[in-house]
Amino acid sequence: MSLYDNIRRVTPYVPGEQPAGKVIKLNTNECPYAPSPRVAEAIAVCDAGRLRLYPEPDCHTLKESIAAHYAVKPDEVFVGVGSDDVLALAFLTFFAGEKPVLFPDITYSFYDVWAELYAIPYETVPLAADFTLRPEDYARENGGVIFANPNAPTGLALPLSGVEEILAKNPESVVIVDEAYVDFGAETALPLLKKYENLVVVRTMSKSRALAGMRIGYAFAAKRLIRAMEDVKASINSYTMTTLSLAAGKAAIEDEDYFQQTLGKIIKTREETKASLQKLGFSVTESKTNFLFARNPNIPAQTLFETLRKRGIYVRYFKKPRIDEHLRITIGTDEDMKQLLEELRCLSKR
């Protein structure tokens, strides 16, 4: 028996690099534009003296503005420290049975980390060869289902009918739909909330609302499910959201015009970049996100990744089965993408 026998050892999720200095950062799906100017105002008027007090434990101010924006009730909303926190709590709350939880073999690589950490049994379900998700594969006994829609890193979206099929086939399991990227053009499962009490929709302000640094995530579900999440949260940490993040989140959600403008710019840049990559010989999936999932038939993805990195352009490369010939490229500004494409053009000519 040694000291180390009593210590939990886990293999953690490894996030994309956050390099210091001036680089073109297309590796963690951040927004290339600043958050709404209303966020800066909301932070500026926060009285530092108030920081001696704990923040709202029930986060009601932020929940109320999220609820009003999406036309649901505040008790159907949960908020957390980025959607990673919301998802981790959802795993802990909803996947407490003995049957395996199901998720795709290619998806957000945090899901298996949480399952391992909480000793939740799970099985991965292979996506089709073209990376699409087949809803019929989820019509079997399970202890819960989670999938990202649109999926990461493929960028592909499942139509609402497919999401509904999974919900309808699993009335006894909680089905979590991770909609981190939904604002960039996919169909949301929110309209299904009234019909399916097993649905949990998870969102983030890190991507479409440009607040990755503030750490704000949220979820929608029937009141009973939200209550269960709140109880688990309150058994770990009563005060997850800071006074500043509550104020910033409220300001961001209330500035619809700015939100739509930012989305419009990113989607336009995405489609232009996709066309340019295709001209260079890349195959690119039909992304409904703020990133592209691309493969060059002639140059290994790892070579592209390493060469770009040396030139100060950071993209994401996953050395994993089935996707180790692809790069995931976040949509930056038009100027960022111009520089990326120039480098890729030079590399293609070599």
Binding site for ligand PMP (CB under 6 A): 82-84, 108, 148, 152, 178, 180, 204, 206, 212, 217
Q: Which residue has the tokens 């983030």?
A: 204
Residue closer to ligand PMP by CB (options 212, 280) is 212
The answer to whether residues 101 and 238 touch, using CB atoms and an 8 Å cutoff, is no
C-beta atoms surrounding 145 within 10 Å? 23
**Is the preceding peptide bond at 153 cis, omega within 30 degrees of 0?**
yes
Residue closer to ligand PMP by CB (options 14, 119) is 14
Distance of CA 141 to the CA centre of its chain: 26
DSSP string, 7-47: S-------PPP--SSS-EE-SS---SSPPPHHHHHHHHTS-
C-beta atoms surrounding 253 within 10 Å? 22
Q: How far is the CB of 84 from ligand PMP (least distance, A)?
A: 3
Residue closer to ligand PMP by CB (options 210, 267) is 210
Residue closer to ligand PMP by CB (options 163, 344) is 163
The answer to whether residues 82 and 240 touch, using CB atoms and an 8 Å cutoff, is no
Q: How far is the CB of 170 from ligand PMP (least distance, A)?
A: 20
Q: How far is the CB of 245 from ligand PMP (least distance, A)?
A: 12
Q: How far is the CB of 26 from ligand PMP (least distance, A)?
A: 14
The answer to whether residues 156 and 131 touch, using CB atoms and an 8 Å cutoff, is yes
Q: Which residue type, as a one-letter code, is found at position 180?
A: A
The pair of structure tokens assigned to 120 is 């939740």
Q: How far is the CB of 214 from ligand PMP (least distance, A)?
A: 9
Residue closer to ligand PMP by CB (options 46, 212) is 212
Q: How far is the CB of 2 from ligand PMP (least distance, A)?
A: 35
Residue closer to ligand PMP by CB (options 23, 212) is 212
Gap between the Cα atoms of 309 and 286, Å rounded:
25
Residue closer to ligand PMP by CB (options 17, 342) is 17
Q: How far is the CB of 210 from ligand PMP (least distance, A)?
A: 11
Residue 132, C-beta contacts closer than 8 angstroms, at least 6 positions apart: 156, 158
Neighbouring-strand partners of residue 293: 328
The pair of structure tokens assigned to 158 is 């499942």
CB-based closest residue to ligand PMP: 82
